[in-house]
Structure 1
């Protein structure tokens, strides 16, 4: 099984490049459709997108094995939240790839009379749940870092009382519910989040990638329609971010 995982990982880069091209074709096709010109070119672009999608499904054959291996590793994590999110997320990815493999077999004619719409919807449901768990994991990691940052600042203020706020700022008479104070707190919190993400590129890239990806199944399942233009843009961005993490492994969020 390990040898298969190593072999399968070599095709992931090709699959990511094809994914980028596929969603670029979707975006280009949407642009041509909106401009109402070059009908033949629009049809060619749509056919090319369909062929790339089919080729990607071929390259993803066997990805379920890798997802199951990842779930097997994640189940031994000490952090219970990460263990839950990653294990169930990888299992959903395995089911997503399995459904995608069945869909590929139906589109190529290997399995005749396959309800492709049903299997496509089933595949995207597993994909959506996996992405929700991935985003939950990212938010959890962000909360841990923010909590660590708060503890560091508290310890710094304790060791250096002169850096603490003046007493009148902490007085009960302060209007804690005033819009100005609430806005200041919100800005300070946003600045803290941006600072933490900026200092942790792997988490930032993973959050952006999952944030872009989640709109794809939401649109395909009809939960939140955004249109092919937006879906194409999100697909291109998430694919490029995936390629970046492949080129620079230190940017991949671990575990």
Structure 2
């Protein structure tokens, strides 16, 4: 999708753009085939999230995984329609259902990420306050205005929190990039194909990192 967007405006690339569009459709159908068993995985993930000790992640993850179950069911119906196993299926209607539940899943996942980020920022702030108290050094600011000091301090706190917790950073980036797709499909926030394609690429790379290094996958508390 990203390559197609970059080449669409270039002269003499019409045939290549057509091939990329056809490839995109084929890959989409293939991805649905590989996702057929994910309904069971989503159900299993729901059972695991119910056992989380922290109330907010437990609630967010359970509702998110239930939405993901419905999304994969809709995805399976769309796959059956695309290969001709069923007839009388309203493709547009089921696509909107799938997009809606995918959006719910990602939105709830981002709420969980935000909660985890706030917890990490609170921990970093407490650790910093302890160090400053023990060293008896006043807080240092590089700008004069209070508003700038507050913003600078907040951004620094966010940076330090995510740097110290790579799984949280990867999960947040992945969910944020992924949510561009249902936002565009549902008409909540329209993005061009280049933005959606770039988001998909970044999300895929982040997901690949967690596959290669399982310790970087964010786990429920």
TM-score, normalising length: structure 1: 0.81
Moved over 6 A (4+): none
Displacement after TM superposition at 1:181 (Å):
1.0
Q: State the match for 2:110 in structure 1.
A: 135
Q: State the match for 2:190 in structure 1.
A: 225
Displacement after TM superposition at 1:165 (Å):
5.4
**Equivalent of 2:209, from 227, 244, 254?**
244
Cα deviations by residue, 1:54-104 (Å, 9 ceiling, x for unpaired): 010011002011101111111111110010011111111111111000001
Instruction: Look at both structures and tell me which one has the larger radius of gyration over its CA atoms.
Output: 1
CA distance in 2, matches of 1:148, 1:41: 52
Q: State the match for 1:31 in structure 2.
A: 6
Displacement after TM superposition at 1:201 (Å):
0.8
> Does the residue aligned with 2:9 lie in a helix, a strand or coil?
helix
The equivalences for 1:27-106 within 5 A come to: 27-106=2-81
CA distance in 2, matches of 1:30, 1:77: 42
> Does the residue aligned with 2:85 lie in a helix, a strand or coil?
coil
**What root-mean-square deviation, in Å, do the aligned CA atoms of Structure 1 and Structure 2 show?**
1.7
Which ranges of structure 2 fall in alignment gaps of 5 or more residues? Answer: none
CA distance in 2, matches of 1:53, 1:230: 18
Displacement after TM superposition at 1:227 (Å):
1.1
Displacement after TM superposition at 1:36 (Å):
4.0
Displacement after TM superposition at 1:33 (Å):
1.4
Q: Which is worse superposed, 191-200 or 36-45? A: 36-45
**Equivalent of 1:152, from 127, 149, 153?**
127
Corresponding pairs, count: 218
Displacement after TM superposition at 1:204 (Å):
0.7
**Equivalent of 1:188, from 131, 135, 153?**
153
CA distance in 2, matches of 1:151, 1:202: 21
Displacement after TM superposition at 1:141 (Å):
0.5
> Does the residue aligned with 1:224 lie in a helix, a strand or coil?
coil
The equivalences for 1:169-208 within 5 A come to: 180-208=145-173
Cα deviations by residue, 1:102-147 (Å, 9 ceiling, x for unpaired): 0011111111121111101110100011001111111100101111
The equivalences for 1:103-142 within 5 A come to: 103-142=78-117
Contact 2:132–2:139 (CA under 8 A) maintained in structure 1: no
Q: Which is worse superposed, 236-245 or 142-151? A: 142-151
CA distance in 2, matches of 1:72, 1:165: 45
Displacement after TM superposition at 1:148 (Å):
1.3
* Change in CA separation of 1:187 and 1:35 when aligned onto 2, cut-off 3 Å: same
